Amino acid sequence: MTKSVLKILFFSIFISHIFINRSLKALIPYYYFPETKSLQKKGLSIGKQARQILYFGQIKDSLNLAKLAIKINNTNETLWTILAETQIANKLYDDALISLNNAQKINPKKGEIYFAQSSIYLKQSKFKKAKNSLLSGIQILPENFKAIFQLGNIYLMEKNYEKAIEEFDKAIKIKIDFWQAINNKGLAYFELNKIDLSIISFKKAINIEENAEPLLALASCLKNKDINKAIVFAKKALNKEPSYVDFNYREEQLWGEKLQISTEELFEIPQLKKEILFAKTKIK
């Protein structure tokens, strides 16, 4: 075979190879696969949208968006916590716990995850688990006064009043104007029959925030000491928040048995009859 023939043959094979490749490319569809960073960014954007519409009360839509965000990016603990928030709003508490567990596996050093777990356990009346989650979170974030306050509330529900006061004091030490913790110290003191300390606590709370709860609690403390002041405080409390006329509502605010009895006795005073009847019409 001559050199010229070989050259022609080689050129023919080369040209046919190019055309075959081009034909194959025309037949095979082309797909765009976004980069990992682009997917992660998109997932976070959708997660933020889910949280935003949850804030505006669109709980079902927010849940669907949060699920989509997780499908796009399931390696981000923030997206798992957002999904948990939407699940809690939809009362899917067990699902929310699973989401938080997934977030915890990704980032076990994020205290807020433990606090969120605790809030779910409280809704389920699983006080021991709620307490353990709070303690784990507080170890990571020891200055979180709201978590410490919630721990005190669990002790209050467990009727461990001394321990509750101890936790409320820790919260107040971090935030000196935390009137809710000061108020709840008063609730605990009352159940320990330390009425004078209750009065001090409720007055301190009122000086920071003239809220209906310490006003009515103080009225209950004063009913046997200064009936006129007790009536004034009780009227002001019911005017601010009529719901405090209801026994069950006060129970939800962690009022103990002794304070509840004292308040029911307070409501027997004839001078409060008008305010009590009006308050009851407001909460129906």
Q: What is the mean pLDDT of the chain?
A: 90
Length of the chain: 284
Digit-coded pLDDT (tens) for 210-265: 999 999 999 999 999 999 999 999 999 999 999 999 999 999 999 999 999 999 99
Give the residue carrying structure tokens 């050129």: 11
pTM of the model: 0.82
DSSP state of 191: H
Give the residue carrying structure tokens 């606090």: 115
The two structure tokens encoding residue 255: 């009022």
Digit-coded pLDDT (tens) for 133-164: 999 999 999 999 999 999 999 999 999 999 99
Give the residue carrying structure tokens 């001078």: 271
Q: Are 141 and 154 contacting, i.e. CB atoms less than 8 angstroms apart?
A: no
- Can you tell me the distance from the alpha carbon of 21 to that of 16, in angstroms, rounded to the nearest whole number? 9
Q: How confident is the model at residue 192 (pLDDT cuts 50, 70, 90)?
A: very high
Digit-coded pLDDT (tens) for 267-276: 999 999 999 9
pLDDT at 42: 84
Domains of the chain: 177-284 (1.25.40.10)
Digit-coded pLDDT (tens) for 9-49: 444 444 444 444 444 444 455 544 456 667 777 888 999 99
The separation between the first and the last C-alpha atoms of the chain, rounded to the nearest angstrom, is: 107
pLDDT at 12: 47
pLDDT at 29: 55
In the chain, alpha helices (H): 3-27, 36-55, 59-72, 77-89, 93-106, 111-123, 127-140, 145-157, 161-174, 179-191, 195-208, 212-222, 227-240, 247-252, 257-266, 273-282
